Structure 1
Amino acid sequence: MNNDHDSSLPEGLDLRALSAFVDGELPPVERAAIEAQLAQQPQAAARVAAWRAQKTALQVLCGASLRNERQAHNESSGGVGQRDVDEPAFIVVRRPTPWWQRVGLAACWLAAGAGLALALGPLAPRLTGGAWNGLGGQPPSFAERADIAYAVYTPERRHPVEVAASEEEHLINWLSKRLNRPLSVPSLQEYGYSLVGGRLLPGEAGPAAQFMYENTSGARLTLYITGISRDETAFRLFRDGNRRTFYWINDRMGYALSGPIAEGKLRAIAIEVCSALGGKPESWQ
């Protein structure tokens, strides 16, 4: 039985001939004959190309090309070809960096970036021409939470709130107790918005309350209230897509009014809400 023939190859070609062809060991006449056959046999030509690619990769990995070149040079210069004992054929595999080293390096870079941000924080308004909107250029997390709560709950039609406006007294007492602060719900009737109800939410450092309003066309606004560890009088705007959130802090309570309406109108409502809740919006002007 002849093991040299591969049934997957076309008739007239065998593995031995193709192997010798790839290694450059055939006489010119036989080499030309196989080249002519390969031109007519795409399957065999593809196998030869794969073998050549594999051979090249092995030569690169094992350094065979360099040794062959030096041996050829020795023979052409009259030297005796001998094995280069100082160039063993082996594959160099780099040891991967342990995961804990990569994590440690990332943490170092993160700490360095945080330190740089703290150092440049006071200079940021000058460097950015006033575009740095306070608090490190980012809204406090309660404003982001208010925006997310708006996006999550206002599309709800059957269960937008936990307690409906029909139980307003219970709603206010319940949320006041959970926030450990007497709350009140400002009226937005003059702007065409009626109270839908409210719900309890997790806040930045404790519970938060969300009150939802709706006008006759179905558009909704939300008022988010939560305790804050700091106190200030600044009034800021946070945008995300077509949603806008005016937020402020008063007496260690954070307030955020969110909605997709025009910025000027939302600002006017926010000023009204702040005043109704005991704030001093005149200091924002």
Structure 2
Amino acid sequence: MNNDHDSSLPEGPDLRALSAFVDGELPPVERAAIEAQLPQQPQAAARVAAWQAQKAALQALCGASQRNGERSEHSGSVGGIGGIGQSDADEPAFIVVRRPTSWWQRVGLAACWLAAGAGLALALGPLAPRLTGGAWNGLGGQPPSFAERADIAYAVYTPERRHPVEVAASEEEHLINWLSKRLNRPLSVPSLQEYGYSLVGGRLLPGEAGPAAQFMYENPSGARLTLYITGISRDETAFRLFREGNRRTFYWVSDRMGYALSGPIAEGKLRSIAIEVCSALGGKPEAWQ
């Protein structure tokens, strides 16, 4: 082995010389000496290949261009060791990853989208009930608790076959008087016979801030609807739809009473029944049109 080459790697790999070799910081003579010795030093050759691969990957990731000093004066690889001493054109290809967007750019873009979304919601909010046929839950889509309670009560009690209600329809007068007294409000049970549903009966339930009433209806095929009624602190005329699984609940507030009609039937039919129920109970469904 030539002594000139030994000066670069006297008794094995000189890590500083190898690092300078990979970074293209050696004079041509020293670089040539290391290239000549690498085929006889497998460990050093492997280290150089690994460093070159890491460097190429970092350059591809960051979009950095190679410095002029990194270009080899030799176009071929040394001793058949891939990646060592290769020219720019011979270097292995790497997938170029798009440079990450800075955090402040991402925050600014998110703020712009949030502002645009809020402005659109404010602009379309008053029109939403008409555009969606009443199926609008408002900004954020969170229904009031009485609508959720009505849906849960429907899911709990309608599957019951022997005890679906506390007081049967055969005692309708007692049922109405009892629930009216507990809710401290005169109640009535709207008829749904024209839609094919007969009254099964009703029960007393706990509401959000007091008692609630549930009236259950059933058609000849066994499908059931429930009407949930409870006192509520606010008053509004909005008419909205709450969905949960295959169940639908149209709910509204009238004269500080919350009403919710729940069932698994088609939304259009359930909406028609809800309008009829609201009108029968003294509400103003024309405000929903």
2: CA distance between counterparts of 1:88 and 1:37?
A: 23
TM-superposed deviation, 1:134? 1.7
User: What is the alpha-carbon distance in structure 1 between the residues aligned to residue 5 and residue 286 of structure 2?
Assistant: 95
- Cα gap change, 1:248/1:63 in structure 2, threshold over 3 Å: closer, same or farther? closer
Contact map agreement 1:246 1:266 (CA 8 A) in 2: yes
**TM superposition score normalised by structure 1:** 0.56
Evaluate the alpha carbon distance shift between residue 205 and residue 167 of structure 1 in structure 2; reply closer, same or farther with a 3 A threshold: same
Structure 1: distance between partners of 2:211 and 2:159: 22
Deviations 1:53-94 (A, max 9, x none): 999999999999999999999999x99999999999999999
**Counterpart secondary structure, 2:5:** coil
Q: CA 1:20–1:277 in structure 2 vs 1: closer, same or farther (change >3 Å)? A: same
Structure 2 CA distance, aligned partners of 1:67 and 1:24? 8
1:137 positional shift: 2.1
Q: How many residues end up aligned between the 2 structures?
A: 284
Match in the other structure for 2:47: 47
1:67 and 2:67 correspond: yes
Change beyond 3 A, Cα 1:14–1:120? same
CA contact (8 A) 1:61 1:90 kept: no
Q: After superposition, what is the alpha-carbon deviation per residue over 1:175-234, rounded to whole angstroms, capped at 9, x for unaligned?
A: 000000000000000101000000000111110000000000100000000001000000
Q: Between the two structures, name the one with larger relative contact order (CA 8 Å, sep ≥ 6).
A: 2
SS in 1 for 2:203: strand
| Greater mean deviation of Cα atoms: 42-51 or 197-206 | 42-51
Runs (4 or more) in structure 1 with deviation over 3 Å come to 1-76, 78-132
| Percent sequence identity over aligned pairs | 93
Given the superposition, is the C-alpha separation of residues 180 and 22 from structure 1 closer, same or farther in structure 2, using an over 3 Å criterion? farther
- TM-score w.r.t. the length of structure 2 is 0.55
Check the 8 A contact 2:169/2:201 in 1, yes or no: yes
Secondary structure in structure 2 of the residue aligned to 1:83: coil
Post-superposition offset of 1:133: 2.5
Post-superposition CA distance 1:135-158 (Å, at most 9, x none): 642000000000000000000000
Instruction: Report the 3-state secondary structure (helix = DSSP H, G, I; strand = E; otherwise coil) of the residue aligned with 1:93.
Output: coil
The runs of 5 or more residues in structure 2 that have no matched partner are none
Q: Is the 8 A contact 1:63 1:89 kept in 2?
A: no
Q: Does 1:149 align with 2:150?
A: no
8 Å contact from structure 2 (residues 4, 33) kept in 1: no
C-alpha change, 1:63 and 1:216, in structure 2 (3 Å) is closer
Counterparts in 2 of 1:127 and 1:142: CA distance versus 1, 3 Å: same
Pick closer, same or farther for the CA change 1:125–1:100 going to 2, 3 Å: same
